[in-house]
A and B are shown apart, each in its own frame.
Chain A
Amino acid sequence: MNETIKIFHGPQHPGVTGNMSLELDLDGETIVKATTHVGYLHRGFEKLIERRTVIQAFTIVCRICVPEPDPNEENFARGIETLAGLEISERAKYIRVLILELARLQAHYLWLAGQGGSIGHGIVPQWAVGERDYILDLFEEITGGRVYHMYIYPGGVKRDLPDGLLTRLSDLLNELDKRLPEYDRVFFDNTVVKKRLQGVGVVNRAEAITNGYSGPVIRGCGIARDVRRDMPYLAYDQLEFEIPIQTDGDAYARALVRRAEMYQSIRILRQVIEQMPPTGEIQCKLPKHRKFIIPKGETFVQTESARGAYSYYMAGDGSEFLRRLQVRGPSLVHAFTLLEPLLIGAQLSDVALIMVSLGICPPEIER
């Protein structure tokens, strides 16, 4: 065996949001061993939440994941609703779907920018970040925040949609839909992109379900697993959409899955515009904030984020604080159980693109 050298790749990586280090043993440019190291972003959110009331914890959970905070808000809200026995209105359900699908769409644009950046593609990242900003404009209009929204609250949402928002959303969807084929031409059908992504980071289909992979990673190897379809929440059981799959299991298959999901999100959002009840309450009656007791009990909630199934285990002890909120984002398993063996035999220059294609988000690993 040749002599190997050891390098630390990261904690900054092109296209990856957050910090995480990879300890790589290299034989030339080929990786013979990879070890993931985290610890750069541990903020202790789970511990903080044990001493926070519902309204205080609500402002924390969105910060667990920077590129797509809304599944955290949805999980937290739905978990509290389950424990406290709260029912939310139809209109609130549709507004939440609207927020979650906009979040998925902007997260996929951000992924597109990251994937382009990780292979030295200059044009698409700029386009994608620009498109994402149009979506963030809508978020700002609806919630007051561009990245962190603090909008999906137990019992519904914090405030109603602004006048004319659905018309502006419809106009934006038309624009995005019209420009998506340009991305096919410049990125997805690009020979250089295909050469870089095809056959790289191939996920083993046989172990995908057992090991708990999710999102585009599992759908990229031919398994149509999606929480929105498997365990429908909010209004997803009243909406028509497909679960796109690809069978090759490589980085290119995951890219095509995300590309198809962007179209499906636009399709869902158009149905939301059509089907959302025009009036109705957006927030059910709640106890006063300082008297909001979380009943004793436990629940497990899941939301399908752009990166995969996002889960919360929540336990209440009959006080105003949660006894335990455990966050389990898809990145934890993807960054350790999947990534470490996947990198063996890969080239050093492909590390960043594999990480981006798995959708690894270090902030949600450490919480």
Chain B
Amino acid sequence: MLDALLPQLHGFEIIEQTQRGERQAFVRVPPAQLFSLLGLLKQSHGFVTLTTIACADWMEDGVFGLTYVLETAERDRVLGVQTHLGRDGAALETAIPLWPQAEIFERELHEMFGIPISGHPSLGDFMLEGWTHTPPMRREFDTLKFVQDTYEMRGGREDNQDVREAIRRRKEAKKAAAAAANGDAA
């Protein structure tokens, strides 16, 4: 698939490319070329459907890996157009002029990863309500700490004990009993 497609993408810097089977491929371009490539693929290469925008947080590299998954009308080819966006608040241009469903995908990106979307008309609460904490899908968001800081643990029943502590106590009791038995024998 890429063998046929790549020679037609004149002027685009393809940083990385992966072919998965005959019908699926991924190409990565710089952020500045993303929207011109998406527009070209839609207008001239038959990738008319935007199925999703996926984001993976590569915190160790300081980037978000964005993947725009495109399909042809016959759904005989799937292309993931990717770019790396800085995690430090770099803005993303909206894809709504190309696909109206990008509106909802981008609202989710904004809420879950904190990515600013320039040109988006309705960024606001999506799944979360009044969220002021770190966007929860970022890697630095600590789910356990958030729960411990936000919610109180219920006391539970009397037998609601720490299993590891109970095992430790039982082992100690066994040891003490064995030591006592040895002492008696001696």
Q: How far is the CB of A309 from chain B (nearest CB, A)?
A: 8
Closest Cβ neighbor of B138 among chain A residues: A47
Task: Flag whether B85 is at the interface (Cβ < 8 A).
Answer: no
CA distance A18 to B26 in the complex (A): 35
Contact A311 B99 (CB under 8 A): no
Q: How far is the CB of B155 from chain A (nearest CB, A)?
A: 25
Contact B24 A300 (CB under 8 A): yes
CA distance A209 to B73 in the complex (A): 6
Candidates A47, A230, A299; contact of B75 at CB < 8 Å? A230
Contact B101 A337 (CB under 8 A): yes
Task: Flag whether A131 is at the interface (Cβ < 8 A).
Answer: no
Q: How far is the CB of B69 from chain A (nearest CB, A)?
A: 6
Task: Flag whether A333 is at the interface (Cβ < 8 A).
Answer: yes
Secondary structure of the A contact surface, majority rule: mixed
Task: Flag whether A212 is at the interface (Cβ < 8 A).
Answer: yes
Among residues 127 to 151 in chain B, which have CB atoms less than 8 Å away from a CB atom of chain A? Answer: 127-129, 136-137, 139, 141, 143
Among residues 215 to 267 in chain A, which have CB atoms less than 8 Å away from a CB atom of chain B? Answer: 225, 227, 230-231
B31 to chain A: which residues have CB within 8 Å?
none
Interface with B: A7-15, A86-94, A320-328, which one?
A: A320-328
Contact B80 A300 (CB under 8 A): yes
Q: How far is the CB of A88 from chain B (nearest CB, A)?
A: 15
Task: Flag whether A315 is at the interface (Cβ < 8 A).
Answer: yes
Candidates B55, B76, B100; contact of A337 at CB < 8 Å? B100
CA distance A314 to B125 in the complex (A): 26
CA distance A39 to B126 in the complex (A): 7
Contact mask for chain B residues 21-55; partner A; CB cutoff 8 A; 1 contact, 0 none: 00110100000000000000000000011111011
Candidates A212, A227, A324, A332; contact of B49 at CB < 8 Å? A212
B159 to chain A: which residues have CB within 8 Å?
none
Tally of A interface residues using CB under 8 Å? 37
Contact B127 A39 (CB under 8 A): yes
Candidates B23, B54, B100, B104; contact of A231 at CB < 8 Å? B23
Contact B52 A326 (CB under 8 A): yes
Candidates B55, B74, B103; contact of A324 at CB < 8 Å? B55
Task: Flag whether B20 is at the interface (Cβ < 8 A).
Answer: yes
Task: Flag whether A292 is at the interface (Cβ < 8 A).
Answer: no
Contact A42 B128 (CB under 8 A): yes
Contact B80 A298 (CB under 8 A): yes
A211 to chain B: which residues have CB within 8 Å?
49, 99-101
Candidates B48, B49, B69, B127; contact of A366 at CB < 8 Å? B127
Q: How far is the CB of A102 from chain B (nearest CB, A)?
A: 24
Q: A230-B75, A311-B52, A328-B52 are in contact. Are A298 and B101 (CB under 8 A)?
A: no
A336 to chain B: which residues have CB within 8 Å?
101, 103-104
Contact B54 A326 (CB under 8 A): yes
Contact B69 A210 (CB under 8 A): no
Among residues 296 to 327 in chain A, which have CB atoms less than 8 Å away from a CB atom of chain B? Answer: 297-300, 302, 309, 311, 313, 315, 323-324, 326
CA distance A10 to B104 in the complex (A): 20
B48 to chain A: which residues have CB within 8 Å?
209-210
Q: A227-B75, A328-B51 are in contact. Are A38 and B24 (CB under 8 A)?
A: no
Contact B76 A230 (CB under 8 A): yes
CA distance A225 to B103 in the complex (A): 23
Task: Flag whether A44 is at the interface (Cβ < 8 A).
Answer: yes
A309 to chain B: which residues have CB within 8 Å?
51
Contact B137 A47 (CB under 8 A): yes
Q: By CB atoms of chain A within 10 A, which of B52, B129, B141 has the most?
A: B52
Q: How far is the CB of A316 from chain B (nearest CB, A)?
A: 10
A-B contact pairs, 12 of them (CB 8 A): A39-B128, A44-B136, A48-B143, A210-B99, A212-B99, A225-B75, A300-B24, A315-B54, A328-B51, A333-B101, A337-B103, A366-B127
- Which residues does A use to contact B, with CB under 8 Å? 38-39, 42, 44, 46-48, 50-51, 82, 207, 209-212, 225, 227, 230-231, 297-300, 302, 309, 311, 313, 315, 323-324, 326, 328, 332-333, 336-337, 366
- Which residues does B use to contact A, with CB under 8 Å? 18, 20, 23-24, 26, 48-52, 54-58, 65, 67, 69, 73-76, 78, 80, 99-101, 103-104, 125-129, 136-137, 139, 141, 143
* 5 closest residue pairs by CB, A with B: A230-B75, A324-B56, A313-B54, A328-B52, A326-B54
